[in-house]
């Protein structure tokens, strides 16, 4: 047992290991075009046949070696493979492009091995989940999947709300190339926030086409290719979309995510697709962001329980109910039969003058105004954000004090309010520029005035949208899913802005292409809240009885 695998076992509360693991390095698996991919096989030192787990990832074989060792020590053969163009695998790394063909070739290789007994599991978070969906319809009959913080398609991840997830892709680019070049230095930059700081610095310069050179020192082919061909191009993304592979014949899948994961809604869409197809997949959602260490350690234990049940017939580790979610504000975990766990009452809170949120409809009043200047973009503060430091729930008061932010707060609540699902905002806006972004956030304000972000949403309004009377737009913005208890005496707070940089690429206001824009124009924005234009947020409120008594 390595020090790393021992640490993972202790932190994750894993069952005692069954044996030692052997590591077989230097395996090269041929792909259909002659490229070979670097692979390491971990096997348990136990007699007999064992189930196999497949992990395909772009982060280097050493990084996931401890995880593979943990699984092997508990009775699994583990095939750990570096995706094309990463680690020492041949070829060029072209994200998402080769995972279907390379995954199918790897399946063929596994099936031909003497130690393979027909039982196969796939597992992994984020990009590793995408590599699973790419081959989900080709897995052997006795298979299972464990998908964490991931999605079967990435178009909506790359272009959320019609904008561009700039911070995600520049930070991820640094991670991919850094781990291949100097893994130790890159790991240190992750922990210390160096990657996040360089991302912010690089994104403050234009054009964005050259941001790759600013973060890794050279042109990155896939970054350039995406800037040329991925924006607004349906054909580019169609071949990379694997949502059609989900259905009644999909192997049993276990899902895991966090309320502050930027792919949560996509994962819930995939979950719902399987539920609608007649399956009853387990789902765990915790108080985590995309790269929370707690999520990663918990996922190993959940994967072992799931694979033991599906590949070994040992269901002793499974919970009585398939859905387990953490409710923030309440601070407890709750088990349900499905998600969402009930039918929500759609509670409407209207925006009023004097920066008030109320259940009463608004009265006649002039609009509130602010100016968004991309030269000094409204910053990203916490939230469902790919960042090594600063993602998740945080204090929003400095953000709310900015001049380019509007804030609407309720009076103290008379009772506890349980919100589970997707909040919506309906806003009536007018901008001096035809291209304008809107960022909205729901916060929980406690008795001391601490404002904590719970969920948010984002939308890019384009000049290509059809004209409307008086240039006043009615925009509906969907917040990401959440499960939160707003306690009695706390306040609801809605934050309205026109950016969260660099989480979303700042809108230059000029209508220029994402990669080529070099000019920055400020936008003056009016937000209406009168009887004819009743801006509001709609909360999915459920009965408090769902949470049961506090013991």
CATH code for the domain in which residue 327 is found: 3.40.50.1820
Q: What are the pLDDT digits (tens) for 327-337?
A: 999 999 999 99
The backbone region for 470, taken as left when phi is positive above 0, alpha when psi lies in -120 to 50, beta otherwise, is: left
Band (8; pLDDT cuts 50, 70, 90): confident
Domain-embedded: residue 242: no
Q: Are residues 331 and 350 in the same domain?
A: no
Domain-embedded: residue 237: no
**Cβ neighbours, 10 Å, residue 124:** 27
Q: Say if residue 76's pLDDT is above 90.
A: yes
Q: What is the pLDDT of residue 549?
A: 76
Residues 6+ apart with CB under 8 A from 100: 134, 135, 242
Q: Is 83 exposed, middle or buried (0-12, 13-18, 19+ CB in 10 A)?
A: buried
Q: Are residues 70 and 174 in the same domain?
A: no
Band (185; pLDDT cuts 50, 70, 90): very high
Q: What is the average pLDDT across 472-485?
A: 97
Rounded to two decimals, what is the model's pTM?
A: 0.96
Q: What is the pLDDT of residue 300?
A: 95
Q: What are the pLDDT digits (tens) for 147-167?
A: 999 999 999 999 999 999 999
Q: What letter would DSSP give residue 379? A: B
Q: Are residues 310 and 423 in the same domain?
A: no
Q: What is the average pLDDT across 73-102?
A: 97
Range of the domain at 317: 3-152+248-336
Domain boundary among 197, 230, 263: 230
Share of the chain above pLDDT 70, in %: 99
Q: What is the pLDDT of residue 412?
A: 98
**Cβ neighbours, 10 Å, residue 371:** 12
Q: What are the pLDDT digits (tens) for 114-134?
A: 999 999 999 999 999 999 999
For residue 252, give the nearest of 405, 140, 94, 155 by alpha carbon: 140
Q: What is the average pLDDT across 532-549?
A: 94
Q: Are residues 356 and 484 in the same domain?
A: yes
Q: Are residues 478 and 360 in the same domain?
A: yes
Q: What are the pLDDT digits (tens) for 196-249?
A: 999 999 999 999 999 999 999 999 999 999 999 998 899 999 999 999 999 999
Q: Say if residue 7's pLDDT is above 80.
A: no
Q: What are the pLDDT digits (tens) for 77-89?
A: 999 999 999 999 9
Domain-embedded: residue 240: no
Q: Are residues 208 and 312 in the same domain?
A: no
Q: What is the mean pLDDT of the chain?
A: 95
Domain-embedded: residue 62: yes
Q: CATH number of the domain at 379, please.
A: 2.60.120.260
Q: What are the pLDDT digits (tens) for 428-439?
A: 999 999 999 999
- Structure-token match 């960022």, residue found: 439
Which alpha helices (H) appear in 159-292, and where do they start and end?
166-181, 183-192, 194-203, 211-216, 221-229, 234-238, 264-276
Domain boundary among 318, 336, 354: 336
Domain-embedded: residue 551: no
Q: What are the pLDDT digits (tens) for 12-69?
A: 788 889 999 999 999 999 999 999 999 999 999 999 999 999 999 999 999 899 999 9
Q: What are the pLDDT digits (tens) for 366-400?
A: 999 999 999 999 999 999 999 999 999 999 999 99
Domain-embedded: residue 235: no
Q: Are residues 266 and 192 in the same domain?
A: no
Q: What is the DSSP string of 233-271?
A: -HHHHHTT--GGG-STTSPPEEEEEEEE-TTHHHHHHHH
Q: Are residues 218 and 76 in the same domain?
A: no
Domain-embedded: residue 236: no
Q: What is the pLDDT of residue 232?
A: 86
Q: Is the dihedral of CA 265, 270, 271, 272 positive or negative?
A: positive
Q: What is the pLDDT of residue 2?
A: 67
Q: Are residues 192 and 327 in the same domain?
A: no
Q: Are residues 198 and 56 in the same domain?
A: no
Q: Say if residue 545's pLDDT is above 60.
A: yes
Q: Are residues 75 and 119 in the same domain?
A: yes
Band (343; pLDDT cuts 50, 70, 90): very high
Share of the chain above pLDDT 90, in %: 91
Q: How far apart are CA 467 and CA 136, in angstroms?
A: 43
Do residues 282 and 256 lie in contact, with contact meaning Cβ atoms separated by under 8 Å? no
Q: Say if residue 1's pLDDT is above 60.
A: no
Q: How far apart are CA 24 and CA 47, in angstroms?
A: 17
Domain-embedded: residue 33: yes
Which pair of structure tokens corresponds to residue 93? 């790394």
DSSP element (H, E) containing 288: strand 283-289
Q: What is the pLDDT of residue 290?
A: 96
Q: Are residues 435 and 378 in the same domain?
A: yes
Domain boundary among 230, 261, 279: 230
Q: What is the pLDDT of residue 73?
A: 96
Number of domains the chain contains: 3
């Amino acid at each position: 047992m390595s020090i790393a695998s021992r640490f993972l076992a202790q932190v994750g509360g894993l069952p005692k290991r069954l044996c030692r693991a052997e590591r077989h390095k230097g395996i090269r698996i041929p792909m259909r075009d002659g490229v070979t991919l670097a692979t390491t096989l971990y096997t348990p030192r136990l007699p007999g046949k064992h189930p196999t787990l497949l992990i395909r990832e772009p982060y280097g074989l050493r990084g996931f070696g401890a995880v593979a060792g943990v699984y092997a020590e508990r009775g699994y053969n583990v095939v750990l493979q570096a995706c094309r163009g990463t680690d020492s695998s041949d070829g060029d790394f072209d994200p998402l492009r080769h995972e279907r063909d390379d995954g199918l070739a790897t399946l063929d290789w596994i099936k031909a091995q003497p130690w393979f007994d027909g039982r196969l599991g796939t597992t992994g978070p984020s990009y590793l989940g995408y590599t699973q969906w790419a081959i989900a319809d080709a897995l052997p009959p006795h298979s299972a999947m464990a998908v964490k913080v991931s999605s079967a398609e990435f178009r909506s991840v790359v272009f959320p709300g019609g904008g561009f997830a700039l911070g995600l892709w520049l930070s991820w680019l640094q991670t991919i190339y850094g781990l291949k070049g100097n893994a130790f230095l890159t790991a240190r930059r992750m922990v210390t926030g160096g990657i996040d700081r360089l991302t912010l610095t690089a994104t403050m310069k234009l054009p964005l086409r050259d941001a790759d050179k600013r973060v890794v020192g050279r042109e990155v082919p896939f970054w350039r290719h995406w800037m040329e061909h991925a924006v607004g191009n349906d054909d580019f993304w169609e071949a990379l979309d694997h949502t059609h592979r989900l259905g009644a014949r999909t192997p049993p899948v276990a899902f895991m995510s966090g309320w502050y994961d930027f792919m949560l809604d996509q994962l819930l869409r995939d979950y719902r697709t399987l539920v609608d197809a007649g399956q009853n997949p387990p789902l765990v959602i915790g108080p985590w962001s995309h790269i929370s260490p707690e999520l990663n350690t918990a996922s190993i234990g959940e994967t072992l329980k799931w694979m033991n049940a599906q590949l070994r017939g040992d269901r002793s580790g499974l919970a009585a109910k398939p859905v387990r979610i953490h409710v923030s504000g309440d601070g407890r975990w709750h088990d349900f039969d499905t998600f969402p766990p009930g039918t929500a009452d759609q509670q409407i809170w209207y925006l009023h003058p004097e920066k008030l949120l109320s259940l009463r409809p608004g009265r006649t009043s002039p609009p509130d105004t602010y100016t968004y200047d991309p030269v000094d973009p409204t910053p990203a503060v916490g939230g469902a954000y790919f960042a090594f430091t600063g993602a998740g729930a945080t204090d929003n008061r400095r953000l709310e004090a900015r001049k380019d932010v509007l804030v609407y707060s309720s009076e103290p609540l008379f009772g506890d309010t349980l919100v589970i699902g997707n909040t919506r905002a309906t806003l009536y806006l007018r901008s001096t520029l035809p291209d304008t972004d809107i960022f909205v956030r729901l916060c929980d304000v406690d008795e001391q005035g601490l404002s904590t972000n719970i969920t948010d949403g984002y939308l890019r309004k384009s000049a290509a949208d059809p004209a409307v009377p008086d240039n006043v737009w009615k925009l509906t913005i969907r917040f990401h899913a959440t499960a939160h208890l707003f306690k009695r005496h706390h306040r609801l707070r809605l934050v309205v802005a026109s950016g969260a940089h660099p989480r979303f690429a700042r809108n230059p206001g000029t209508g220029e292409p994402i990669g080529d824009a070099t000019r920055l124009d400020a936008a003056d924005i009016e937000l209406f809240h009168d009887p004819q234009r009743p801006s509001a947020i709609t909360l999915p409120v459920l009965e408090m009885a769902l949470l049961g008594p506090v013991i």
